[in-house]
Chain A
Amino acid sequence: MLDDFLVRALLAGIGLALVTGPTGCFIVWRRLAYFGETMAHSALLGVALAIIFNLNLVIGIFSVALLVMLAVLYLERRETLPTDTLLGLISHGGLALGLVILSFFPQMRLNLHALLFGDLLAVSRLDLAVIWVGGILALAVLCWIVRSLLAATISSEIAEVAGLRPERARLIFGILLAAVIAGAIKIVGVLLIVALLIIPAATVRRFSPTPEIMAFAAAVLGTIAVAGGLFASATLDTPSGPSIVVVALILFIVTRVGYLKVR
């Protein structure tokens, strides 16, 4: 019989992977990896905020990730800095600021490792419920905006002339990404969430004839990676986030080599 905590972590991880699959595809298609990284790194600042104001962790992370997204969208227009420089600045600035603030809370130092790399022991029943309810909501929202978002991925001008409101779709996707990052912190942690978003998508790209199949396959692959990684984490006593990412990476390499051989 599996331990209770492992079952909880597993169920939460699967719920998460079902959302990170399709979301990660859009990140790969739209080249938003560094944008996602920036939002994820700011999550530590969200943790600090949650502690100071005594908020729920997920809510703290979600709010700060949202603020960071809006700041990036705004500064991208106003500032003359190249986007990657701007993102690097906010990303590492946010991470550093979060670490400094958290160092004022000695009891958090013990948990820092868990925040950065995930901790499957930490998944509570409430987390599980939040991930599944939030996940179903996230998928529903994604279905709702998928047409505009895909059209905007091809050309935001074509999308706008066709009346599909690409700006709105982009904003909604940003909110969705903030939610995914907040939901992922216990499973994979701040530093590796983007890996869980992009590696499954990159793995299934070559086998997918349509965007929908790619999104579905990425969800399946993400689920396998999460399950495999959590088992490894439980048996080998490795941190859960890195274990999940290593399994995802192995799947990527195996399918890649297999693909080259078949060709």
Chain B
Amino acid sequence: MPDPDPSTQNFLINARELGVKRGERWIFRHVNLSVGLGQLVFIIGANGAGKSTCVKTMLGLIQATEGEIEKSSTLVVDYVPQRLTISPNLPLSIRRLITLTKRFSKQEIDTALTTVGLDRLGNPPVTTLSGGEFQRLLLARAMLHRPNLLVLDEPAQGIDAAGTDLVHELIDEVRKDLGCGVLLISHDLERAMDMGDNFAVLIPHEYDEAPATAVVN
């Protein structure tokens, strides 16, 4: 069980009784979740259960309807969203994409690309990458920023079994390298139980009264 106490050194982020309502409907509710340094925490749920909305709320991209979010003052987040479509009209090489929000030295970029196994490709346009390669590229981008919390929204979506294993291995490697916390959205309960330090299950529901979230330790 992660320690939700902000006074401890490992603390990164903690959500208490978090909920988001759209119209008359709660997209998710009663979410209690915390991530500490070095921890791998899963959010599990079916399609439409509210997983993406939940992490966006924790990151402050969406306003919470109820509940509280506490963040460590040292929190440095990097986020890989679920869907990212790059306009084919935008000429962007892979090296350019990963340095879009911040500059890095050539050596740092080389190291990150090598870690995710994209160093042999040269510097092709991002639109030519396969789904798995693109995910690894986004992971390399996130790594470069050396966050202490890495948030990944279904990084294995649309990737074959071997690719999925590779992506998860990489995530674990990055976590050990950086010593950061990882919040990972997935619908793979088995993997979550196998790899995760902790996970939350979001259950879609129609009514206010229904318990939205079960946190399993």
Contact = CB atoms under 8 A, between A and B. Distances in A.
B90 A164 contact: no
Contact of A159 (B77, B101, B145): B101
B102 A162 contact: yes
A155 B81 contact: yes
Nearest to B81: A157
Contacts, number: 60
A95 interface: no
Contacts of A162: 78, 101-102, 145
A259 to B, nearest CB: 14
Given A154-B84, A157-B56, A157-B61, A147 B101 contact: yes
Interface in B100-132: 100-102
Interface string A109-122: 00000000000000
A249 interface: no
Interface string A8-33: 00000000000000000000111100
Contacts of A82: none
Interface in B48-104: 56, 59, 61, 77-81, 84, 86-87, 89-93, 96-97, 100-102
Contact of B92 (A28, A31, A211): A211
A155 B84 contact: yes
Interface residues of A, number: 26
> A-side binding surface: helix, strand, loop or mixed?
helix
Nearest to A159: B101
Interface in A118-169: 147, 150-151, 153-155, 157-162, 164
A245 B23 CA distance: 47
B101 A158 contact: yes
A207 to B, nearest CB: 9
Contact of A160 (B61, B87, B91): B61
Contact of B91 (A157, A202, A214): A214
A256 interface: no
Nearest to B103: A147
A150 B100 contact: yes
Nearest to A156: B61
A158 B81 contact: yes
A211 B96 CA distance: 10
A155 B61 CA distance: 12
A158 B91 contact: no
Contacts of B61: 157, 160-161
A148 to B, nearest CB: 9
Nearest to B84: A155
Contacts of A161: 59, 61, 77-79
Nearest to B89: A28
A237 to B, nearest CB: 36
A170 interface: no
Nearest to B62: A157
Nearest to B97: A154
Contacts of A159: 101
B78 A29 contact: no
A255 interface: no
A209 B128 CA distance: 13
A170 to B, nearest CB: 15
Contact of B86 (A147, A154, A205, A210): A154
B101 A164 contact: yes
A159 B56 CA distance: 13
A125 to B, nearest CB: 38
A150 B101 CA distance: 9
B91 A209 contact: yes
B87 A210 contact: no
Contacts of A30: 87
Nearest to B87: A29
Closest 8 CB pairs of A and B: A162-B101, A161-B79, A29-B90, A208-B91, A157-B81, A28-B89, A151-B101, A29-B87
Interface of A: 28-31, 147, 150-151, 153-155, 157-162, 164, 201-202, 205, 208-211, 213-214
Interface of B: 56, 59, 61, 77-81, 84, 86-87, 89-93, 96-97, 100-102, 145
Given A154-B90, A154-B97, 12 more contacts: A31-B87, A147-B100, A155-B84, A157-B61, A158-B79, A159-B101, A161-B79, A162-B102, A164-B101, A209-B93, A210-B92, A210-B93
